[in-house]
Structure 1
Amino acid sequence: MSRELLFFLQQVLVCLILTLRTYALYYRSKRLLAWMIIIVCALGGVTAGTFSLHSNTMIAIPGLNCYGSYTIGIAVSPGLGWVTLFVYELLIFVLTVCMLCKTRGLSLGMSRRTILDIIFQDGIMYFAVMTLINIPNILTYYCGPDTTRGSLATFTSCMSVTLVSRLMLNLHKSIDAGILSTLINDDGPSSAVLTTRVNVQSVISSHYC
């Protein structure tokens, strides 16, 4: 139960980050955010409701230790959680493609010069990799033998967290100028200059110390 609960909390955080990215992509649309929150709560409620049905049995494999397994009836519950995650990731992908088509039409060729380019290309990478990983994970719950059901869940969860972390770090690297950079007003009324402030005195003092 604790293992499944950890997976659930991790995927909730992943869904929240994907929601924030899509919310920013749609120019902070309150209406879209409200619908996405409703969908997240609905899918999360379905997943959370399966915990009451969760149970597994311990079997002894010759030459190995005891191993937790799912029967075909019990495996439907945790497997449904991964199905809901896949559905939500598909929704995020569709919304991203729709925004790209709305902005650029059918011209999909692009470089990584704008935030839209970065979000779209990283989003394609995330969805493609997670699809290749999550579908076999889902199939183990519904099609595999008892000893292999859920065997890919840990790997799928780790990859999901790793990839969504990469999305945010890559976006920060491509767009943000650095934590030491600040915007200051120039002589013009509406112009802004990007500058970096360095405390030279503290650097010299620390060097001699």
Structure 2
Amino acid sequence: MLEIGGVSVEDHLWGGRIMVDLPLACWVILLLEYLDTFRLEVELIWPAKWGLVKLLYVLDRFLPFVILPFVGFYNITANPSSDFCRILFAIPCMGIIACIFIAEAILYLRVFALSGRSRTILVVILINGIVVVATCCALLARYIALATWDIPRPPGVSGCKGTFTDGKLVMIGYGTTLYSGILVAVLCVYFGIRLYWSRRPGRIITIFYRDGTMYFIALSVMSITNVVIAANLPTGFRFLMAPFQGVLTSSLSIRMVLRLRQGAREDMGLTTVKVPDIEFTPETSGIAMDVPRTRLGA
């Protein structure tokens, strides 16, 4: 039986098909998600002034669309060179990590606001973010550097096929993303209890905690699933669910931003498309706005 790197041609073709179909399914989900939230985006995001939140939103919204095709192309490209395969492998690896951390950065900005813009929390968030991102990038870079794609293949067999080291580097990377998600969840709970225990939470805070909880649960489930996959499945499937994790975290954070802005507009009774700039502060149960000159009321 013909083999490619110790794997039968049949298994290689079957695995390659899965690794093409799943990213394609994720891309379709992403497109449907975009169409479903497009109206709110036009009303709530497009008129807003450019700032850090809007920049992160745009990156979070469109980066997955760019990254996912590389996952499929990696598995169907014909007669690829070793260097070309390495590039095709590196782009989605680093891109999906970027999608996850951009989505997480949006939550950390909200935590910073909940803290009353505490300088201490800002320092903690920045140091943690730098360490986590640098750790994940270094682990993936090492994993990619140790891999080889110089594997003879029968004529007519497409897609890149590499030889990789053990999955410990990948498992640690997934574990690092889980740690970061746990940290932001703990900070949310802490400031929620500290600042709002004796107050009735406003609409914005309710939305933030609801969507933030969903984000944390989704990130935890996906990170643990990916760790299990990396530890038990063949090397070609170590990133099997990574595209779905990137799409899920991106979609949840996008919806959270839209719901927060929509909730703020409804609280103010705004009837125009013009959206005020929203800033979280403890004194206003999560809302402080620069209100434009616009008609209020039903």
Per the normalisation by structure 1, the TM-score is 0.73
**Residue by residue, what CA displacement relative to the aligned partner does 1:55-99 show, whole Å, maximum 9, x if unpaired?**
4466879x98546466461x2223332221111111111111111
Q: Which SS does the other structure have where 1:167 is aligned?
A: helix
1:21 maps to which of 85, 93, 110 = 110
Q: 1:30 to 1:77 in 2, by over 3 A?
A: same
State the shift of 1:157 in Å. 0.9
State the shift of 1:181 in Å. 6.0
2:169 counterpart of 1:77: yes
1:30 corresponding residue in structure 2: 119
Q: Which SS does the other structure have where 1:163 is aligned?
A: helix
Of structures 1 and 2, the one with the larger relative CO (CA 8 A, separation 6+) is 2
Task: Name the aligned partner's letter for residue 94 of structure 1.
Answer: V
Q: Distance in 1 between matches of 2:198 and 2:230?
A: 38
Select the structure of larger CA radius of gyration: 1
Q: Which SS does the other structure have where 2:236 is aligned?
A: coil
More strand by share: 1
2:142 corresponding residue in structure 1: 52
Q: 1:181 to 1:103 in 2, by over 3 A?
A: closer
Q: Which SS does the other structure have where 2:126 is aligned?
A: helix
1:180 corresponding residue in structure 2: 274
Per the normalisation by structure 2, the TM-score is 0.53
Q: Distance in 1 between matches of 2:197 and 2:97?
A: 37
1:90 maps to which of 176, 179, 182 = 182
Percent identity, aligned pairs only, is 21
Q: Which SS does the other structure have where 2:190 is aligned?
A: helix
Q: Distance in 1 between matches of 2:276 and 2:242?
A: 43
Q: Which SS does the other structure have where 1:24 is aligned?
A: helix
Gaps of 5+ in 1: 184-191, 198-209
2:294 counterpart of 1:196: yes
Q: 1:72 to 1:168 in 2, by over 3 A?
A: same
Contact 1:70 1:149 in 2 (8 A): no
Q: Which SS does the other structure have where 1:27 is aligned?
A: coil
- Number of residue pairs matched by the alignment: 184
More helix by share: 2
Task: Name the aligned partner's letter for residue 124 of structure 2.
Answer: W
State the shift of 1:172 in Å. 0.9
Q: 1:124 to 1:70 in 2, by over 3 A?
A: farther
2:260 counterpart of 1:171: yes
Task: Name the aligned partner's letter for residue 255 of structure 2.
Answer: R
